[in-house]
Amino acid sequence: MKKLVVISGAGVSAESGISTFRDGNGLWNNYKIEDVATPQAWAKNPALVQEFYNQRRKNVIAAQPNAAHLAITELQQHYDVHVVTQNVDDLHERAGTDKVLHLHGNIRFAKSSNPDRVLDAEFDVQEEYYLIDGDTLNYPDDKAPDGYPLRPHIVWFYEPVVLIDAAADIVAEADVVIVVGTSLEVYPAASLVYRIKKGAHVFCIDPNAESLMIEQSVTLIKDVATSGFARIKDDLIRLAN
Ligand code: OAD
């Protein structure tokens, strides 16, 4: 079976009612990154950070996978499908996609806020993640087994993206790559497109699809994720054989 890799970002979940970050009404136009998405924000006002992610988690739990998530799942009948996502929602999994790598964490999970563990992550310390029961983490009452308050399993700005090498290895083996719903503004995630092998077929689905600065020729689909996937479905099935 050929290998198909989807590199997804917030746009794939937009039609499920989850805000993107950098569009007109995106989250980063309404909140400051420094207030809610950095280790410094957590040190300064952990309750505010916790509340921000509690709201995001409620939003994710209330949302349903859309036709784009489901189209990716259906492709599993034709390909060995891997999703490398920057999203912290679990809509790919809830749509039934089996192999999903979350570069920036998964909001349904919590981890210890022990700062040493967070720093050590770069050096291969195995972090433990705990599935959150319901939608709310309470600061400081909800604690990890090591006694530190639980924090969301989110990779904040200035924290290492420990899965980037694993993600790059997956992308490098792809016969077909679909880049969907990401502005490719955040590194190292954005650098994954440079790992696509020569000869791979590359599609980019995004209403603002721009030419990706890579050697391979890219089929640009300037459309939202749901109808974008519908448009390339036949091509994808043909390429599988
Ligand atoms: P962005 O908000 O930066 O980009 C969203 C992309 O989705 C844009 O290119 C939009 O044009 C596109 N888009 C909007 N609606 C769409 C739709 N219905 N269908 C398809 N595409 C659509 O989001 P990301 O690139 O995912 O990190 O952002 C990367 C990271 O920045 C996030 O993972 C997050 C953020 O800070 C963390 O929180 C750690």
- 120's CB contacts (< 8 A; 6+ apart) are none
Q: What is the mean pLDDT of the chain?
A: 93
Average pLDDT over residues 191-204: 95
What does the longest C-alpha to C-alpha distance in the chain come to? 55
Q: What is the pLDDT of residues 11-37, one digit of tens each?
A: 999 999 999 999 888 999 989 999 999
Nearest C-alpha to atom 35 of ligand 1 is from which residue?
21
Distance 241 CA to ligand 1 centre (A): 31
Query: What's the pTM?
Result: 0.96
Distance 142 CA to ligand 1 centre (A): 30
Q: In 66-219, where does DSSP find H-type helix?
A: 67-74, 91-94, 115-120, 164-172
DSSP 97: -
Catalytic positions, written as ranges: 104
Tokens (6 digits) for 11: 């746009």
Q: Is 16 in the pocket of ligand 1 (CB under 6 A)?
A: no
Q: 25-39, 94-108, 162-176, 211-225 — which is least confidently predicted?
A: 211-225
